[in-house]
């Protein structure tokens, strides 16, 4: 299977779309746009997984796709949006490093992922190799996003996008048991819940979601250029 | 160079020149409709041009020969570039010259001429616009060249005619790299034409500080030439996008009248669709701050780079 | 051919003597310039002759050590660069005839020696002569800077000369061991001998590093570029032109000769990677600095760094492609490098000479003191516009031809299979496009601020157009640069031997008389066709609009966005309503300068109640040179302190040190002697 055949092309395009949306996430400054991009990533991920299920003829993947669609594209974004609206968090997301350097680092991470995955998967099919490269890039970009965002919502979105990468990898690698996926999903949901709670507490206690504010209370100095509000 | 190819070329250039103001008028009319206004007729730009061309121009006292010569040079260079971009048919007389880098070079030539004209009189607005236009170009050009790299890898050539022929039969398939290159080229096209998130084409002076700021001192036939140049540049970019990403329906070389008519229809439909997309996009989005533009174009550059990297990946896999 | 070269070289020495005698007989100055002009024309003609007919055997000179007599020979590569040197030298000779007729004798003495050094370096047929010429070039050009410093007694000039000498010595300290290592213990330094004994492994890497440091510092490649924008502008315009146009090319010739021609065969693709990356960094840094500088000649010197970087990229890419057995593509990259080297020599000479005319006429090099000169000196303005447009890589001029070929080679270089090469080439391609666009911005800024707009100082209005011989030099350069831009195919066909030597591929770029292309299947560039197309459309537009409206343009006061008319004491308008050099650079300073050049901007408000205006302070500095100089200075001081104890030694101990060194060297020879 290679380029020019519809199954391969479509899988390639959808997995690439997930990665592209990771970059869109990295580029966004505003909270609502960030959540919208996350929802789009969830939807494309669901389509990618469903397509994989059809190509590899694994009906279990349809379930995963449905779960991804419901959770990632509908439920979590709606929940986040609700949270944002309830607390009036319409402000821009502060980034720890600029958008430009963040994007450059992102491209570097993708190159790194490719350089790691390609030699490690010698002998596997082109689809698997490329799928793994895409998935690993999405995961790395999610981690990068968690590092570069000061805003708690931004970090939650980074975590969820990282999990999207995990699901993409799981869908690409034939035979990964559903249990593992469910376990990761459950883990992430738990983490998201914790993060949401954290957000709430922060909001209540410090009237802001900038984690830099916490440094004061740990006896550290504020990040340069920022004082307490 | 057969007589048929020369004839196709001439028809193509004439159509490009004739349709360019119409396209601008169409986009303006669509935007007006989307905003709930009636809007001027799509023919209005042509009427404006005809009126301006007949009026006596007024030159500033400190203007030099540059104010007089550059509009001709800029429009000639843009027309030359427009003659190279395939429209309704391939295999035109200038097809062997139709190189993507040359198109970029000719557009750079007309941009240089525009900046010279802006600086000629020595006003704050002209200098500001020229400096910004050239600075944006510094970010747009690498994004463009890296998109060209994607096409060069897929089609084995930077010749527009060859790329169109290679893509017309769906050879390269669906590729994420093409999607990335498309996004990059769209961003470059918006920046190069001074369209909406980068610059507001509908205002003078207050809100726009790039393209229109450079033309504040021009009048009469010189202003007509500059307006025509801007319209032709938009036409060129939309045709370029259509030729690269929607190569379907274009009449191949040496096709008869039927193929031509079909190609013409396809071209007009593609241009119309792109104009609608542009109008909707511009109505939906707000202008960004000037110093966000490098971020916007830098993101386009990185997407194009990513597209190239994925192409390397897939050529390595194949 | 070698005998002709030797004759021409020998003619330069009496000219240098005559220059020394100009203190007593001032008329000799014109003799020196006229002589240099004629000898340079001879170099150019000789270069063409060798490219057409071939170079012939080396000529052994009856000078030098018995085991390595100095030898002269011209082959394709050296002939190409000799042609370039001849054209630049002839133009600067004509210019000097007008402007340097009363030059101080020190400068007249060094000027022919400078030409001599460059030509000797190009005509050398062995490593020893190459070094000799290179060092003669370095020292003579240093002498030119010193002469200038003594003439102006300026602190800046003196510092520039010292910095220049430091870098020249550093270059020598790198190049001499490199040649020695290449020669090995056999000691055969002739090019034929060096070619027969290729380097390998760590030795090759060491030689590469030394050559890049030694010749790269002279060419102005990053990170050793810091001296170039300081030293080049100090000299008079003609010498600056010679330094930027020719001397940097001689350094690149040394790189091409040692790394590609002699050391290039049978190397892996990684061989060219350092040159490619360093070239890209130079192109970016040079172009970005050129968009920020406020002194016209410094700006041009920074632009030289950019173009030298592009040429180095072409050379490096050629080595990469050659290592991957992609011969035809390697020849495209080599052709791009050679064409761009020639093109840059022509248009940068043109620009420096125009800057000299501007300095002569308007009395300043600072862009903030110029403006509106197109009215006062139209011919210089138009000639400089050609140069600026060529440097901005606009079609159909010569800068575009070189960069088109370079981009074509870069866009095809993904055929080298290795992923790291592909990613590197993609990144480098973006850098080329970025620095080309930045270079266009820099050239627009230079030309626009000098010649367009309103006069920024009244002194500008007294400027006069160039005098006839200098005018001839400018026009000749425009004609040559335009010709080279319109006929790159013919030019590369002429330079086929040089391309073959650099790329190791006998076949040439697809180069017809009217077009040039990367490969038969790929795209082609037809400069004459482009020119015709644009000209026909422009003529049609002129004719068409003339039918529509016949009225000539009326003149009126400038509208200027509704600004009020300037007060009576400002007859040329309020200077504050026109962009300053720093103001025009502001967008790029904010977009790229803050990250790459440590640029900063600060607004200082007056204290409340104080009627003084707020001040905007903006500036940048190149982070590379201080980063290198400071540790170097510290190391020098340490070394000096450590050497202090030598002063207290007795004669006996001094002799002991010398004897010990001799023993050490003998022991080395015994241990690692020839097999």
Q: Is the pLDDT of residue A180 over 60?
A: no
Secondary structure, 3-state, B147-159: HHHHHHHHHCCCE
Kindly report, residue by residue over B291-315, the tens digit of the pLDDT. Answer: 888 888 988 998 999 888 888 887 7
* Nearest-neighbour CA in chain A from C419: distance (Å): 8
CB contact under 8 A, B299 and A27: yes
CB pairs under 8 A between B and C: 273
Report the range of poorest mean pLDDT among A56-65, B259-268, B276-285, C497-506.
A56-65
For chain B, the domain total comes to: 1
B179 lies within 8 A of chain A by CB: yes
Confidence category of residue C636, pLDDT binned at 50, 70, 90 = confident
What DSSP designation does C612 have? P
Q: What percent of chain C has pLDDT over 90?
A: 47
**Cβ–Cβ < 8 Å for A25, A36:** no
**A95: which strand partners?**
A149
Residue A103 with chain B: CB contacts under 8 Å: 298-299, 302
* Nearest-neighbour CA in chain C from A16: distance (Å): 18
Taking 3-state DSSP, the helix, strand and coil percentages for chain C, each rounded to the nearest 5, stand at: 75, 5, 25
Mutate which of B139, B155, B166, B174 to disrupt the A interface (most A C-beta within 10 Å)?
A: B174
Kindly report, residue by residue over B263-291, the tens digit of the pLDDT. Answer: 999 999 999 999 999 999 999 888 888 88
Q: What is the pLDDT of residue C436?
A: 95
* Nearest-neighbour CA in chain B from C402: distance (Å): 12
Pairing of strands C524-525, C615-619: unpaired
B283 lies within 8 A of chain C by CB: no
State mean pLDDT over C84-99: 93
**Cβ–Cβ < 8 Å for B163, B148:** no
Confidence category of residue A97, pLDDT binned at 50, 70, 90 = confident
Q: Is the pLDDT of residue B23 over 90?
A: yes
Confidence category of residue A15, pLDDT binned at 50, 70, 90 = confident
Nearest CA to A26 out of A82, A87, A108 is that of A108
Nearest CA to C410 out of C388, C393, C425, C398 is that of C425
Burial class (CB in 10 A: 0-12, 13-18, 19+), C635: exposed
CB contact under 8 A, A16 and B317: no
CB contact under 8 A, B309 and A27: no
Confidence category of residue C240, pLDDT binned at 50, 70, 90 = very high
Q: What is the average pLDDT score of chain A?
A: 74
Q: What is the pLDDT of residue C172?
A: 93
* Nearest-neighbour CA in chain A from C590: distance (Å): 13
Q: What is the pLDDT of residue B110?
A: 96
**Alpha-carbon dihedral sign for residues A119, A123, A125, A126:** positive
Q: What is the pLDDT of residue C21?
A: 83
Kindly report, residue by residue over C271-325, the tens digit of the pLDDT. Answer: 899 999 999 999 999 999 999 999 999 999 999 999 999 999 999 999 999 999 8
Report the range of poorest mean pLDDT among A63-77, A168-182, B160-174, B195-209.
A168-182
Report the range of poorest mean pLDDT among C24-38, C499-513, C531-545.
C499-513
Q: At what angle do helices C127-152 and C105-123 cross, to 10 degrees?
A: 160
**Cβ–Cβ < 8 Å for A131, A96:** no
Q: What is the pLDDT of residue A228?
A: 40
The tally of CA atoms less than 13 A away on the side-chain side of residue B285 is 17
Q: What is the pLDDT of residue A220?
A: 47
d(CA C301, CA C306): 9
* Nearest-neighbour CA in chain B from A197: distance (Å): 34
Residue B306 with chain A: CB contacts under 8 Å: 23, 107, 110
Q: What is the pLDDT of residue A223?
A: 45
Domain assignment of residue A223, yes or no: no
Residue B173 with chain A: CB contacts under 8 Å: 3-5, 9
d(CA C573, CA C565): 7
For chain A, the domain total comes to: 1
The pair of structure tokens assigned to C500 is 């073959």
Q: What is the pLDDT of residue B285?
A: 87
Domain assignment of residue A118, yes or no: yes
Q: What is the pLDDT of residue C185?
A: 64
State mean pLDDT over B79-104: 91
Q: What is the pLDDT of residue A186?
A: 62
**Cβ–Cβ < 8 Å for C329, C499:** no
Helices (H) and strands (E) in chain B, counts: 10, 1
Domain assignment of residue A228, yes or no: no
State mean pLDDT over C38-64: 89
Report the range of poorest mean pLDDT among A54-63, C407-416, C585-594.
A54-63
* Nearest-neighbour CA in chain B from C54: distance (Å): 34
Q: What is the pLDDT of residue A93?
A: 61
Secondary structure, 3-state, B102-154: HHHHHHHHHHHHHHHHHHHCCCHHHHHHHHHHHHHHHHHHHHHHHHHHHHHHH
**Cβ–Cβ < 8 Å for C175, C215:** yes
Confidence category of residue A206, pLDDT binned at 50, 70, 90 = low
**C601: which strand partners?**
C618
Q: How many whole angstroms from its chain centre is CA B63?
A: 28
B294 lies within 8 A of chain C by CB: yes
CB contact under 8 A, B101 and C586: no
Q: What percent of chain C has pLDDT over 70?
A: 97
In a 3-state reduction of DSSP, which class is residue C339? helix
Q: Is the pLDDT of residue A198 over 50?
A: yes
Q: What is the pLDDT of residue B289?
A: 82
Output the CA–CA distances (angstroms, integers) from residue B48 to A26, A185, B22, B289, in the order listed: 44, 62, 12, 30
CB contact under 8 A, C577 and B123: yes
Most confident of A173-182, C363-372, C618-627: C363-372
Nearest CA to C482 out of C597, C381, C390, C544 is that of C390
**Chains in contact with A, counting 3 or more C-beta pairs less than 8 Å apart as contact:** B, C
Tell me which of C616 and C530 has the higher pLDDT.
C530
Which residue range forms the structural domain that includes residue B260?
3-317
d(CA C234, CA C158): 9
Q: What is the pLDDT of residue A146?
A: 79
ipTM reported for the complex surpasses 0.85 = yes
The pair of structure tokens assigned to B34 is 């989307």
* Nearest-neighbour CA in chain C from B63: distance (Å): 8
Kindly report, residue by residue over B191-240, the tens digit of the pLDDT. Answer: 999 888 888 777 655 555 788 888 888 988 999 999 999 999 999 999 99
The pair of structure tokens assigned to A210 is 């900038």
Q: What is the pLDDT of residue A221?
A: 47
Which residue range forms the structural domain that includes residue A92?
6-217
Residue A13 with chain B: CB contacts under 8 Å: 174-176, 179
Give contacts of B 243-262 with C, CB under 8 A. none
**Cβ–Cβ < 8 Å for B301, B184:** yes
Taking 3-state DSSP, the helix, strand and coil percentages for chain B, each rounded to the nearest 5, stand at: 75, 0, 25
Q: Is the pLDDT of residue C205 over 80?
A: yes
**Chains in contact with B, counting 3 or more C-beta pairs less than 8 Å apart as contact:** A, C
CB contact under 8 A, B80 and C534: yes
Q: Look at the block and give the residue holding tokens 């960030």.
A: A34
In a 3-state reduction of DSSP, which class is residue A19? helix
d(CA B74, CA B65): 14
Report the range of poorest mean pLDDT among B32-46, B265-279, C644-658.
C644-658
Confidence category of residue C154, pLDDT binned at 50, 70, 90 = confident
- C423: nearest CA in chain A? A111
CB contact under 8 A, C423 and A111: yes
Q: Is the pLDDT of residue A7 over 80?
A: no
CB contact under 8 A, C578 and B124: yes
């Amino acid at each position: 299977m290679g380029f020019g055949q519809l199954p391969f092309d479509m899988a390639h395009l959808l997995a690439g779309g997930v990665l592209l949306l990771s970059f869109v996430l990295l580029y966004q400054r505003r909270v609502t746009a960030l959540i919208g991009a996350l929802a789009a990533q969830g939807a494309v991920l669901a389509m990618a997984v469903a397509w994989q299920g059809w190509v590899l003829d694994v009906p279990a993947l349809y379930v995963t796709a449905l779960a991804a669609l419901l959770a990632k594209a509908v439920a979590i974004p709606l929940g986040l949006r609700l949270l944002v609206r309830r607390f009036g968090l319409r402000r821009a997301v502060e980034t720890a490093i600029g958008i430009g350097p963040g994007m450059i680092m992102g491209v570097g991470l993708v190159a790194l992922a490719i350089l790691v995955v390609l030699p490690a998967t010698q002998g596997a099919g082109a689809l698997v190799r490329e799928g793994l490269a895409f998935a690993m890039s999405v995961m790395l970009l999610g981690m990068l996003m968690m590092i570069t965002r000061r805003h708690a919502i931004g970090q939650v979105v980074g975590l969820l996008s990282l999990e999207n990468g995990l699901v993409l990898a799981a869908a690409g690698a034939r035979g990964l048991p559903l249990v593992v996926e469910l376990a990761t999903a459950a883990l992430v949901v738990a983490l998201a819940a914790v993060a949401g709670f954290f957000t709430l507490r922060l909001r209540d206690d410090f009237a802001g979601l900038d984690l830099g504010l916490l440094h004061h209370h740990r006896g550290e100095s504020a990040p340069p250029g920022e004082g307490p509000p | 160079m057969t007589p048929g190819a020369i004839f196709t070329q001439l028809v193509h250039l004439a159509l490009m020149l004739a349709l360019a103001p119409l396209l601008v008028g169409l986009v303006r009319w669509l935007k007006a409709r989307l905003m709930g206004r009636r809007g001027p007729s799509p023919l209005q730009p042509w009427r404006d041009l005809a009126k301006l061309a007949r009026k006596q121009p007024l030159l500033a006292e400190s203007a030099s020969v540059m104010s007089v010569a550059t509009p001709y040079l800029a429009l000639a260079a843009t027309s030359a570039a427009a003659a190279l971009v395939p429209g309704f048919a391939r295999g035109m007389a200038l097809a062997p010259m139709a190189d993507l880098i040359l198109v970029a070079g000719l557009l750079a030539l007309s941009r240089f001429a525009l900046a010279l004209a802006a600086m000629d009189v020595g006003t704050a607005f002209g200098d500001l616009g020229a400096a910004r236009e050239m600075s944006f170009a510094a970010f747009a050009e690498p994004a463009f060249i890296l998109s060209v790299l994607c096409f060069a890898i897929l089609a084995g050539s930077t010749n527009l005619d060859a790329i169109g022929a290679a893509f017309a039969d769906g050879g390269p398939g669906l590729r994420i790299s093409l999607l990335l290159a498309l996004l990059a080229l769209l961003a470059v096209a918006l920046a190069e034409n001074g369209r909406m998130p980068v610059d507001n084409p509908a205002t003078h002076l207050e809100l726009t500080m790039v393209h229109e700021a450079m033309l504040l001192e021009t009048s009469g036939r010189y202003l007509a030439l500059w307006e025509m140049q801007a319209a032709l540049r938009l036409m060129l970019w939309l045709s370029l996008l259509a030729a690269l990403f929607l190569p379907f329906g274009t009449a191949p070389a040496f096709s008869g009248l039927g193929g031509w008519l079909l190609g013409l229809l396809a071209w007009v439909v593609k241009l119309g669709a792109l104009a609608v997309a542009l109008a909707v996009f511009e109505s939906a989005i707000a202008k960004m701050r000037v110093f966000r533009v490098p971020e916007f174009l830098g993101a386009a550059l990185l997407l194009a780079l990513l597209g190239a990297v994925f192409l390397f990946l897939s050529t390595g896999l194949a | 051919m070698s005998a002709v070269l030797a004759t021409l070289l020998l003619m330069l020495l009496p000219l240098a003597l005559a220059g020394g005698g100009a203190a007593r007989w001032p008329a000799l100055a014109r003799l020196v310039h006229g002589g240099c002009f004629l000898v340079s024309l001879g170099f150019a003609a000789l270069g063409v002759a060798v490219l057409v007919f071939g170079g012939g055997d080396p000529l052994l000179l009856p000078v030098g050590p018995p085991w390595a007599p100095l030898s002269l020979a011209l082959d394709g590569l050296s002939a190409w660069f000799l042609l370039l040197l001849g054209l630049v030298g002839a133009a600067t000779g004509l210019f000097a005839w007008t402007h340097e007729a009363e030059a101080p004798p020190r400068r007249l003495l060094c000027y022919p020696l400078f030409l001599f050094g460059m030509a000797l370096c190009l005509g050398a047929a062995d490593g020893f002569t190459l070094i000799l010429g290179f060092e003669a070039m370095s020292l003579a050009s240093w002498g030119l800077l010193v002469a200038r410093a003594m003439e102006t007694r300026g602190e800046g000039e003196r510092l520039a000369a010292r910095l220049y000498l430091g870098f020249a010595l550093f270059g020598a300290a790198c190049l001499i061991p490199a040649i020695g290592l290449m020669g090995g213990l056999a000691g055969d330094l002739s090019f034929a001998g060096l070619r027969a004994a290729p380097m390998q492994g760590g030795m090759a890497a060491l030689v590469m590093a030394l050559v890049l440091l030694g010749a790269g510092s002279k060419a102005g490649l990053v990170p050793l570029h810091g001296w170039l924008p300081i030293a080049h502008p100090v000299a008079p315009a003609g010498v600056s032109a010679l330094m930027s146009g020719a001397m940097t090319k001689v350094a690149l010739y040394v790189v091409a000769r040692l790394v590609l021609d002699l050391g290039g065969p049978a190397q892996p693709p990684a061989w060219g990677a350092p040159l490619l990356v360093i070239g890209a960094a130079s192109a970016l840094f040079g172009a970005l600095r050129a968009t920020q500088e406020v002194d016209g000649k410094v700006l041009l010197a920074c632009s030289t760094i950019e173009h030298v970087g592009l040429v180095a990229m072409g050379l490096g890419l050629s080595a990469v492609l050659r290592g991957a057995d992609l011969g035809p593509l390697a020849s495209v990259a080599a052709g791009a490098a050679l064409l761009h080297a020639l093109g840059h020599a022509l248009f940068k000479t043109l620009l420096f000479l125009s800057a000299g005319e501007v300095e002569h006429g308007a009395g300043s090099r600072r862009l903030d003191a110029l403006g509106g000169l197109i009215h006062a000196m139209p011919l210089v303005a138009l000639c400089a516009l050609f140069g600026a447009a060529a440097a901005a890589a606009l079609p159909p001029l010569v800068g575009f031809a070189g960069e088109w070929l370079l981009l074509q080679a870069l866009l095809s270089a993904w055929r080298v299979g290795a992923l790291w090469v592909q990613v590197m080439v993609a990144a480098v391609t973006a850098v080329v496009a970025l620095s080309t666009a930045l270079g266009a911005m820099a050239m627009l800024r230079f030309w626009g601020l000098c010649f367009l707009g309103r006069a920024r100082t009244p002194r500008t209005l007294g400027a006069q157009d160039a005098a006839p011989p200098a005018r001839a030099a400018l026009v000749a350069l425009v004609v040559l640069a335009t010709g080279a831009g319109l006929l790159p195919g013919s030019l590369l066909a002429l330079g086929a031997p040089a391309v073959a030597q650099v790329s190791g591929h006998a076949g040439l770029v697809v180069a017809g008389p009217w077009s040039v292309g990367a490969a038969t299947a790929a795209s082609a560039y037809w400069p004459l066709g482009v020119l015709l197309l644009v000209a026909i459309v422009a003529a049609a537009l002129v004719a068409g609009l003339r039918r529509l409206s016949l009225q000539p343009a009326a003149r009126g006061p400038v509208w200027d966005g509704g600004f009020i008319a300037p007060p009576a004491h400002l007859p040329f308008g309020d200077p504050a309503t026109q962009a300053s050099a720093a103001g025009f650079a502001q967008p790029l300073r904010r977009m790229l300068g803050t990250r790459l050049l440590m640029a900063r901007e600060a607004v200082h408000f007056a204290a409340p109640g104080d009627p003084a205006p707020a001040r905007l302070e903006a500036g940048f500095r190149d982070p590379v040179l201080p980063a290198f100089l400071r540790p170097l200075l510290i190391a020098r001081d340490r070394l000096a302190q450590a050497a202090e104890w030598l002063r207290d030694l007795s004669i006996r101990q001094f002799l002991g040190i010398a004897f010990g060194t001799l023993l050490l060297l003998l022991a080395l020879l015994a241990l690692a002697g020839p097999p």
